[in-house]
């Protein structure tokens, strides 16, 4: 793993939790993680998403989604990408002309290793890699200007804790951009969720859209703007000032 940039340390909590040596990011540290990266990082394969989910929301135009994320990061602010996986967002953000600082945070060592490779291929961005549990982030309160979470919440055992951490680390007025599976979607998306639960990719029952909205409001976000999708949904929410 490359040495962290000097700007990362001031963002970290003094009592930062240690993820330990025996961390387990489940399926993503095995072959499935590499396969997932291949699919999500291919524009052609992403086009097949409606077959699995019905309306896939902003995943149908991930480039457009990345453009909106990039435009929402204030000058000099840090963007948090969590869980970052293999760095899927990096080339999309750079393609939009964004040239800022981004923290790629993920629990999985293999996924972060691929994010490091991706960061090398996208030298336009200033990337810090951070091995962290999204349910207990080592970042200080209000330390990032905005956050993006692509296909993350449905892989995290405690979605409420994840939302609460996002509300804590994003500065007041900062935005959260999210794409996630929710419960109660289409017949197809429910079948995908059921299969993913059996396979151990989705660790627990998923909140329905309205339950996710309530979790975000409890975490300090204002109104949630839904960006489309049935079972796989997109949203943007702003931390209340």
Ligand X SMILES: C[S@@+](CC[C@H](N)C(=O)[O-])C[C@H]1O[C@@H](n2cnc3c(N)ncnc32)[C@H](O)[C@@H]1O
Residues 64 and 95 sit within 8 Å (Cβ to Cβ) = no
Q: State in angstroms the smallest separation of the CB of 150 from ligand X.
A: 4
Which residue lies nearer to ligand X by CB, 36 or 98? 36
Q: State in angstroms the smallest separation of the CB of 193 from ligand X.
A: 13
Cis peptide before 83 (omega within 30 of 0): yes
Which residue lies nearer to ligand X by CB, 134 or 237? 134
Task: Provide the binding-site residues for ligand X, judged by CB under 6 A.
Answer: 25, 28, 36, 40, 83-86, 88, 106-108, 111, 133-135, 150-152, 155-156
Q: State in angstroms the smallest separation of the CB of 149 from ligand X.
A: 7
Which residue lies nearer to ligand X by CB, 199 or 223? 199
Residue 228, Cβ density class (10 Å: 0-12 exposed, 13-18 middle, ≥19 buried)? middle
Torsion of CA 20, 137, 41, 188, to 10 degrees: 100
Residues 117 and 129 sit within 8 Å (Cβ to Cβ) = no
User: Residue 5 to residues 9, 66, 115, 131, 187: CA-CA distances in angstroms?
Assistant: 8, 23, 15, 14, 45
Residue nearest to ligand X (CB): 85
Q: State in angstroms the smallest separation of the CB of 160 from ligand X.
A: 13
Residue 155, Cβ density class (10 Å: 0-12 exposed, 13-18 middle, ≥19 buried)? buried
Which residue lies nearer to ligand X by CB, 139 or 150? 150
Which residue lies nearer to ligand X by CB, 87 or 100? 87
Q: State in angstroms the smallest separation of the CB of 118 from ligand X.
A: 9
Q: Which residues pair with 105 in a beta bridge?
A: 130
97 contacts: CB under 8 Å, gap ≥ 6: 70
């Amino acid at each position: 793993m490359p040495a962290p940039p000097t700007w990362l340390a001031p963002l970290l909590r003094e009592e930062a939790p240690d993820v330990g040596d025996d961390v387990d990011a489940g399926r993503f540290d095995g072959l499935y993680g590499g396969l997932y990266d291949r699919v999500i990082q291919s524009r052609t394969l992403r086009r097949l998403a409606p077959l699995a989910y019905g309306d896939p929301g902003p995943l149908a135009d991930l480039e457009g989604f990345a453009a909106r994320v990039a435009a929402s990061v204030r000058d000099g602010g840090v963007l948090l990408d969590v869980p970052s996986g293999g760095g899927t967002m990096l080339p999309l953000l750079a393609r939009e002309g964004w040239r800022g600082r981004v923290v790629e945070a993920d629990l999985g060592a293999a996924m972060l290793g691929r994010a490091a490779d991706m960061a090398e291929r996208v030298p336009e961005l200033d990337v810090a890699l951070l091995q962290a549990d999204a349910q207990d982030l080592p970042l200080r309160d209000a330390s990032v200007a905005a956050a993006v979470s692509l296909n993350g919440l449905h892989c995290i055992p405690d979605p409420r804790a994840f939302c609460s951490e996002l509300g804590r680390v994003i500065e007041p007025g900062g935005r959260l951009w999210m794409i996630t599976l929710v419960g109660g979607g289409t017949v197809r998306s429910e079948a995908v969720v059921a299969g993913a639960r059996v396979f151990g990719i989705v660790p627990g029952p998923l909140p329905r859209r309205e339950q996710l909205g309530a979790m975000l409001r409890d975490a300090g976000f204002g109104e949630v703007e839904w960006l489309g999708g049935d079972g796989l949904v997109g949203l943007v929410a702003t931390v209340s000032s």
